[in-house]
Amino acid sequence: MKTVNIGELRNQLSAYLQYVRNGEEVVVRDRSVPVARILPVAGTLAEEEEAALVASGAMKLPEHKMDWERFFSEPAGKVPREVAIQAALESRGDR
C-alpha cells in the first residue's frame, strides 16, 4: 500500500495510477491525514474485454438496462412495424 499527499498525487498522478493498475492500493492524505483510497477495479475477464473493445471504439456500452421481463412478455410477431423499425435503427447506433 502506498500513501501520498494531495500535492504529490497531483504532480505524479500517472505514476500512482500505474501502481493501482498493478493491483496496489493508494491512500491519499491531506496534510498527513488520510482522506481517500484509490483501489483497483476488480472486474471479470469479460468486463475487461468489453472495456478494451469500448476503448478501441469497436463496441458501445448500452445506454439503458435491458428489461428482460418485458422482452419475453411480448408475443412473438406481434410487435408493431414502427416499433420494430425504431428498434432496428437504434441497434445500429451511430454507424
Q: Which residues pair with 5 in a beta bridge?
A: 29
Place of cell 481517500: 36
Location of each CATH 3.40.1620 domain in the chain: 2-38
Can you give the pLDDT of all 95 residues of the chain as single tens digits?
Answer: 899 999 999 999 999 999 988 889 999 999 989 999 999 876 666 777 888 888 898 988 888 888 888 877 767 777 888 888 888 888 887 65
At residue 85, what are phi and psi to the nearest 5 degrees?
-65, -45
H/E stretch holding 33 reads: strand 33-38
What gap in Å lies between CA 14 and CA 9, rounded to an integer?
9
CATH topology of domain 2-38: YefM-like fold (3.40.1620)
How big is the chain by its Cα radius of gyration, in Å? 22
Q: Where are the beta strands (DSSP E) in 39-90?
A: none
pTM: 0.46
